[in-house]
A = this chain, B = another copy of it.
Amino acid sequence: MATPRTTPSRPDALTLEVVELIGSVVARYHEEYEEAAAGHALTGAQARLLSLLCLEPLPMRRLAQRLKCEPSNVTGIVDRLESRGLVERRPDPADRRVKLAAATPEGRQVARNMQNSLRFAREPLAGLSEEERVALRDALRRMLSAD
């Protein structure tokens, strides 16, 4: 194992700095996401839901799972997007209890515009060489699978 034998409760200065840097990246990412959403008159939750629906229509229930919130909340978020014509509800032919939420063409356009205005989420790597990107990719992969 590559882990140095230090007391878990007293991480070394390097580890502390990396953890703080990750916190900064997280904060920065979130700020810019909310900002980009607000620039298109969307809340963060609306923007996340709309982005999901741009990939494929989804039952309300699955939207709640993806957004990690209760199904009852999805009703309101979809209501607001639907009243703006960005999302629509369709019946599911296979199960009449299910409603499929789907992005309209206008909804997809708004989502695209928003994602294009997300500079930091798109270009955070401008200053890194290919070698550095590979190293960063490997480190991030390992972080996410370390659980």
Task: Name A residues whose Cβ lies closer than 8 Å to a Cβ of B.
Answer: 2-4, 8-9, 11, 14-15, 17-19, 21-26, 28-31, 68, 116, 120-130, 132-147
The answer to whether A132 touches B124 (Cβ under 8 A) is no
The answer to whether B127 touches A143 (Cβ under 8 A) is yes
Q: Which residues of B contact A4 (CB under 8 A)?
A: 130
**Chain B minimum-CB-distance residue to A143:** B124
A120 to B19, CA, bound (A): 9
Specify the main secondary structure of chain A where it touches its partner. helix
How many Å from the CB of A4 to the closest CB on chain B? Answer: 6
Question: Quick one: which of B8, B133, B141, B144 contacts A28, CB cutoff 8 A?
Answer: B144
How many Å from the CB of A109 to the closest CB on chain B? Answer: 15
Q: Which residues of B contact A29 (CB under 8 A)?
A: 22-23, 26
Question: Quick one: which of B23, B68, B132, B140 contacts A121, CB cutoff 8 A?
Answer: B23
A78 to B139, CA, bound (A): 38
Q: Known pairs A22-B124, A128-B139. 5 more at Cβ < 8 A?
A: A2-B130, A19-B124, A23-B121, A24-B140, A25-B144
The answer to whether A133 touches B14 (Cβ under 8 A) is yes
How many Å from the CB of A30 to the closest CB on chain B? Answer: 7
Q: Which residues of B contact A8 (CB under 8 A)?
A: 123
Those 9 A-B pairs whose CB atoms lie nearest each other, nearest first: A2-B129, A21-B140, A124-B143, A127-B146, A127-B142, A136-B139, A26-B29, A26-B26, A135-B135
